[in-house]
Amino acid sequence: LKNPFASLLSISELMVDSFDQTEEEDHKAGFRKINQSVKHLLDLLENLLTWSRSQRGRIKYDPVRFNLTSLIQENINLHKLLAEKKGIMLLSSEYDQIFAYGDRDMINSVIRNLVTNALKFTDKDKKVEIKVETGERNIEVSIVDEGIGIPEEYMSKLFRIDEKFKSTGTAGEKGTGLGLIICREFVEKNGGEITVESKPGEGTTFSFTVPVANGT
């Protein structure tokens, strides 16, 4: 938590000390940096709270039959503004109504985290797509991006709380490192598994499975 606060303090002090000597555009740039730092801090606190509650068994697993198609569309709508702001095409494959069995809130958190990450590490004029494949017992959801990719030496560290590495998005966004750890825990609690494939400079695909609901 120390680094985000230190960054906020440094930027705000600089703006206060030099406010009368700087141009309007410099003021705007400073405010943008503060806004970015606040968003990063909010993400970090939210993920820390979620992870802490999960570790203490405070998040109850509540499986239900739910419409996965609608849940994916909700996340498309939620991230639409961010995608447009970065000039990224965000879409999902066309498919019939698909129903899954699991904790809807947990699966929503997984999709939200993975889509946010995909947008964070993808450049303008590229694409992020959510794909779904239905099997006999499980549904596989994949978030496919045309982003910067993940270096091979980082792949084994992605889902581990005891490993730390810095990650910066294509617009300077900071990563907390907790989002993927939460994704793994939530997917496993729902009886699924999460995998990743990536090629630096070409893109990344995160895939996870969730059980098919009976009667679908």
Residues 120, 13, single domain; the answer is no
Residues 151, 199, single domain; the answer is yes
By the 8 A CB rule, do 86 and 120 touch?
no
What residue numbers bound the domain in which 139 lies?
A: 64-211
pLDDT in tens, 56-70: 666 788 899 999 999
The residue count of the chain comes to: 216
* Residue 82 maps to a domain: yes
Which residues 6+ apart lie within 8 Å of 183 measured at CB?
109, 110, 113, 114, 159, 194, 206, 208
Distance of CA 187 to the CA centre of its chain: 14
* pLDDT at 151 exceeding the cut of 70: yes
pLDDT in tens, 152-209: 888 888 887 655 555 666 766 655 567 888 899 999 999 999 999 999 999 999 999 9
* Residue 160 maps to a domain: yes
Q: Structure pTM?
A: 0.75
Residues 68, 149, single domain; the answer is yes
* Residue 216 maps to a domain: no
Residues 16, 95, single domain; the answer is no
Of 177, 21, 189, whose CA–CA distance to 105 is shortest?
A: 189
Residues 9, 79, single domain; the answer is no
* Residue 204 maps to a domain: yes
Q: Which of 36, 55, 74 marks a domain boundary? A: 55
Residues 97, 32, single domain; the answer is no
Reading the block at residue 96, the tokens are 């019939």
Q: What is the DSSP secondary-structure string of 129-178?
A: EEEEEE-SSEEEEEEEE-S----HHHHTTTT-TT-----B-TTSPBP-S-
Residues 71, 140, single domain; the answer is yes
Residues 108, 45, single domain; the answer is no
Share of the chain above pLDDT 70, in %: 65
Residues 7, 102, single domain; the answer is no
- Domains in the chain: how many in total? 2
Residue with more model confidence, 100 or 25: 100
Q: What is the CATH number of the domain that holds 129?
A: 3.30.565.10
